[in-house]
Amino acid sequence: MNKIGVIFDLDGVIVDTAKYHFLAWKDLADELGFEFTETHNELLKGVSRVRSLEILLGIGNVELSEAKKQEYLISKNAHYLEYIHKMGPKEILPGASELLDLLDTLGINYVLGSASKNAPLILKQVHLYERFTGIVDGNSVSKAKPNPEVFLIGAKKLKLQPEHCVVFEDAIAGIEAANTANMISIGIGDKNTLSEANFNFNSLTEIPSNFFTRVISEKISNNNEPRLYKTR
C-alpha cells in the first residue's frame, strides 16, 4: 500500500517542545533585560533559530553584533538542551504513537521534516528515533520554512515525488512550505490559523483510521492527481 509517504514536523505535532523553546528564549530575554511573553513566542513558531533571535531582538529593541548574536544562540541552545535532556515518552502528544502504529500497519513510510537541529536528540529522548525512515533537520537544510527545502529532501528520503507526500504541520510557515512543494498539507491545530492546509484537525487523535486509504484511493481514481478538499 506504499503509494504515499508521510512527513512529520516535530514541535507541536509529535512532541510538545514549544514550552521548552519558550523557556529558553525567555531565559535569553531575561539576560538581555526585557519581557518575553507566550504571545511573543507565537511569532517564533516554525522559523529558524537565527530568524527567531532576530524577531526576539526586535521585540526587545536590542541591537547586537553578529558575534554577540552567535554567543546568544549558543546560550539559548544550552538552556534548551538542559530542558530537553529531561524529556521522556510522556512528552509524546496524544495520537502520535497511535498514528505511527497505523502507518506501520499500512506499510506507509514516514520521515521527520523539522527546522530543529536537536530533532534527532528529541526523538531519542522519547524513544521514537528508530521508527522513522529518515530524519531531515536543521543540520540538513540551508533554507528555513516557508522554503520547501526540508520537505523536498524528505520526499527524496521517502523515494517519492512531492505530490505523493502527506505533510503534518502545526505552523503557518510549514503549511506554506508543504503547499509550495505541491504536497498534501495537514494542519494540526487552530483551523483559522492554518486555513491554507488541505485538511485541518485539532490534534492527531482526530485523524480517521481510513484517512490514508481514502487519500490513496482518491489519487488512484484521479490518475495520481489528488483533489483534496478542506475538512472544516
Catalytic residue among 11, 27, 30, 101: 11
Catalytic residue among 9, 30, 104, 190: 9
pLDDT one-digit tens code per residue, 87-137: 999 999 999 999 999 999 999 999 999 988 889 999 999 999 999 999 999
pLDDT one-digit tens code per residue, 12-57: 999 988 789 899 999 999 999 999 999 999 898 777 889 999 999 9
Instruction: Tell me: do 96 and 34 sit in the same domain.
Output: no
**Whole domain around residue 146: which residue ranges?**
5-15+89-223
Instruction: Tell me: do 136 and 155 sit in the same domain.
Output: yes
Domain boundary, last residue among 32, 58, 85: 85
Q: Within a 10 A sphere around the Cβ of 163, how many other Cβ atoms?
A: 15
Total count of domains within the chain = 2
| 149 within a domain of the structure (yes/no) | yes
Catalytic: 190?
A: no
Instruction: Tell me: do 99 and 200 sit in the same domain.
Output: yes
User: Percent of the chain at pLDDT above 70?
Assistant: 93
Q: What is the pLDDT of residue 197?
A: 96
The answer to whether 217 is annotated as binding is: no
The answer to whether 25 is annotated as binding is: yes
Instruction: Tell me: do 108 and 166 sit in the same domain.
Output: yes
Distance of alpha carbon 205 from the chain centroid: 17
CATH number of the domain to which 29 belongs: 1.10.150.240
Instruction: Tell me: do 136 and 175 sit in the same domain.
Output: yes
CATH number of the domain to which 219 belongs: 3.40.50.1000
Catalytic: 137?
A: no
Q: pTM value?
A: 0.82
The answer to whether 160 is annotated as binding is: no
Look-up of cell digits 540538513: 140
Instruction: Tell me: do 51 and 148 sit in the same domain.
Output: no
- CA-wise closest residue to 209 among 95, 54, 69: 95
Report the C-alpha gap between 216 and 182 in whole angstroms.
16
Model confidence at 209: pLDDT above 70: yes
The answer to whether 75 is annotated as binding is: no
| 124 within a domain of the structure (yes/no) | yes
| 179 within a domain of the structure (yes/no) | yes
Residue 226 — very low, low, confident or very high, per pLDDT cuts 50/70/90? Answer: very low
The answer to whether 47 is annotated as binding is: yes
| 228 within a domain of the structure (yes/no) | no
Domain boundary, last residue among 85, 109, 138: 85
Model confidence at 193: pLDDT above 70: yes
Domain boundary, last residue among 42, 57, 85: 85
Residue 185: beta bridge partners? 167
Instruction: Tell me: do 70 and 105 sit in the same domain.
Output: no
As a 3-state breakdown, the chain gives helix, strand, coil percent values, each rounded to 5, of 50, 10, 40
